[in-house]
Structure 1
Amino acid sequence: MGLVLIGFVLGRKLPSTVPSGVAYFLFWVGVPISIVFFLYKTDLSGQIWIAPAIAYLAIFLGAFLAWLAIKGQAYLTNTMPQPPTQGSFLLAAMVGNTGYLGFPITLAMVGEKYFAWALFYDLLGTLFGAYGLGVALAANFGNIKHNYAEVAKAIVINPALWSFGFGLLLRQLKIPFAVEFCLDKLAWTSLALSIVLIGMRLSQLKSWSNIPKVGMSLAIKMLIVPLLLGCTLPFFGVTGSPAKVIVLQMAMPPAFATLVLAETFNLDRDLAVTALAVGAIVLLITLPVWLWLF
């Protein structure tokens, strides 16, 4: 809360180009270094590969429930939302902020030992869900045809994926204590900075419209899906701290990728913006609830 508040204040005081610069640094340097270091330290034993599978279940369940909500509204009110609004509604219910927000929250609440569960959930689940199924849905509901080669290129050059592979290789080596100490401080500083960036982005969001639609979308993304799938995790053999990590990742608010896709494919940008802002605020209420339940 403190870091988000600091970011919010800085976002109002500093030039509008600063958040973009911070995001650029985190994307290319901060987050990749954090991934390398925490992957070097984390425990990769157990059923860790089930994390991305659960991520896909959460994405598809969120999309299905959002589709049912759209059809239910059409049946009850005899009015169907415009395709761009439907697209933004579906995306907000599907894809969560499991990287910039999910990583630091997981590390703070569960610790470094189980960070790999969050990492696999994000990089092998959310990333491809957003820029795979998310792009397909955005192209279907949007008014702009997009070059899919550019989307594939964006995934391939994503430094988080490259740092994931480098982190796996680094686990085979023993790095000096001084290097490990520096990486540790830089990794935690980058994660703190990512939360400050959330506050900066929130300070720039001006639209608070579409609250009823956003409320339904967030209920699906941050309440229904985590509760339903969280209760089934023991059947997958996932219990204890790994289960807590998975639930926290499922319960994250909509990702900034939803706004990127909304702008790229000419969807309902106002709905996407409102979902981001309200979701980040709602997380302050839902986070302790999930920690208590699981």
Structure 2
Amino acid sequence: MNNFILIFIFLLLGLVLQNVKQIPKNAHKILNWVVIYICLPALALYYIPKIKWDNQLLFSIGVSWIGFIISYFFFNYLGNKKGWPRKLTGCLIICSGLGNTSFLGFPIIEALYGEEGMKTAIIVDQPGSFVVLSTLAVLVATAYSKGNLNSFQIAKKIAFFPPFVTFCIACLMNVFKFDFYEWGQLLFKSIGSVVTPLALLSVGLQLRFEKRSMHWEFLGLGLFYKLIATPAIIFFLYVIVLNQHSKAIQVAVLESAMAPMITACILSSTYGLKPRLSSMMIGFGIPLSFITLIFWAVLMRFI
């Protein structure tokens, strides 16, 4: 319960700080940088070396890949059928295809499932969401914008993306059964522990509610896919078809139901793929996700 209270406190604090003139307008970018380049790599280096490989991990890894690939085919089909601009299609693919599995996912999963649930959440996020973001999402952003990055430049961006680099290092540590000394583990755990307040504060600073917009139809469609269709697909595949009922599966389904990933929406905006719609996906998606997540969290208690 205390974790849920903290979620709303830091979200509210971020909203309040939007109106404080002394706070730089790019404060959220600084927080995002700290979370992405320091906190998330620290969490990967702490958790991944300790994970014992199990085929169940494939379910966790598959969440983001399945969600994004289906998003690509779904919105690409609709875009071609309805004659949407390519930038609109690209925006919906990226913003609806990736979930906020770390910024919101970590505190919510920790509140519901504790440290054991966090191990699964890390797998959903690191080899899942962030690898998809660093590879497929960058490819889509380039293809659907006027960007002219070549294959080498794209590969370079992926290869030197810090979370991806530390994920690879952590995986090698796991394979060779190597872990840091106790003081090193404590250091990484301490650094990673601030991801929740910093990430939620960043979310609060970025929340925008645009009442007048031409994007309402597309906003509704994108959020329906992200908050309803994606977890329904994962639930159907994992629980109904494959008959899986472990806590790791519960965490995987809940992670698939998270609001749109902030970093994905920033990527979309950076490439000129409907920046206002990208912002709305965050601004409206996060509050709405708290409502839809209640449904999925209750449902998970019955599987």
Report the TM-score, using the length of structure 2 for normalisation.
0.82
Alignment of 1:46-65 (within 5 A): 46-65=55-74
Q: Work out the CA distance in 2 between the residues paired with 1:186 and 1:131.
A: 23
Task: Quote the Cα distance in structure 1 between the aligned partners of 2:123 and 2:152.
Answer: 25
Structure 2 equivalent of residue 30 of structure 1: 39
AA aligned to 1:7 is G
**Preserved CA contact (<8 Å) 2:15 2:205:** yes
Call closer, same or farther: CA 1:131–1:190 in 2, change over 3 Å.
closer
Larger deviation, residues 7-16 vs 161-170: 161-170
Residue type at the aligned position of 2:206? R
CA separation of 1:12/1:236 partners in 2, compared to 1, >3 Å: closer, same or farther? Answer: farther
How far apart are the structure 2 equivalents of 1:139 and 1:17?
Answer: 25
Q: Which residue of 1 aligns with 2:219?
A: 214
Which one-letter code corresponds to 2:73 in the other structure? F
* Corresponding residue for residue 244 of structure 2: 238
Q: Give 1:81 shift.
A: 2.4
Residues in 2 aligned to 1:269 and 1:185: alpha-carbon distance in whole angstroms: 35
Aligned match for 1:226, one of 212, 225, 231: 231
Check if 1:8 corresponds to 2:15.
yes
CA separation of 1:43/1:11 partners in 2, compared to 1, >3 Å: closer, same or farther?
A: farther
Displacement of 1:86 in angstroms is: 1.9
Q: Which letter maps to 1:94?
A: G
2:262 aligned with 1:256: yes
Distance change >3 Å, CA 212–CA 163, structure 1 → 2: same
Cα 1:54/1:20, change in 2 over 3 Å: closer
Give 1:292's aligned residue.
Answer: 298
Percent of pairs with identical residues = 20
Please say if 1:190 is aligned against 2:195.
yes
Q: Match of 2:136, as an amino acid?
A: L
Flag the 1:273–1:175 CA change in 2: closer, same or farther, 3 A.
same
> In the TM superposition, what is the alpha-carbon distance from 1:213 to its structure 2 partner?
0.9
What is the alpha-carbon distance in structure 1 between the residues aligned to residue 28 and residue 184 of structure 2?
A: 29
Query: 2:191 and 2:64 mapped to 1: Cα distance?
Result: 28
Greater displacement, 274-283 / 36-45: 36-45
| Cα separation, 2, equivalents of 1:162 and 1:135 | 16
Segments of structure 2 that go 5 or more residues without pairing to the other structure are 1-7
Q: How far 1:84 moved relative to its partner? A: 1.4
Give yes or no for contact 1:222–1:252 (8 Å, CA) kept in 2.
Answer: yes
> How many pairs were matched up?
286
CA–CA distance in structure 1, aligned partners of residues 165 and 142 of structure 2: 27
Counterpart of 1:159 in structure 2: which amino acid?
P
The residue number in structure 2 matching 1:88 is 91
Checking the alignment, whether the CA contact within 8 Å between 2:95 and 2:268 is kept in structure 1 is no
How large is the Cα RMSD of the aligned pairs? Answer: 2.7
State the alpha-carbon separation in 1 of the partners of residues 140 and 185 from structure 2.
Answer: 42
Output the amino acid matched with 1:123: Q
Task: Please identify, of 191-200 and 149-158, the stretch whose mean Cα deviation from structure 2 is larger.
Answer: 149-158
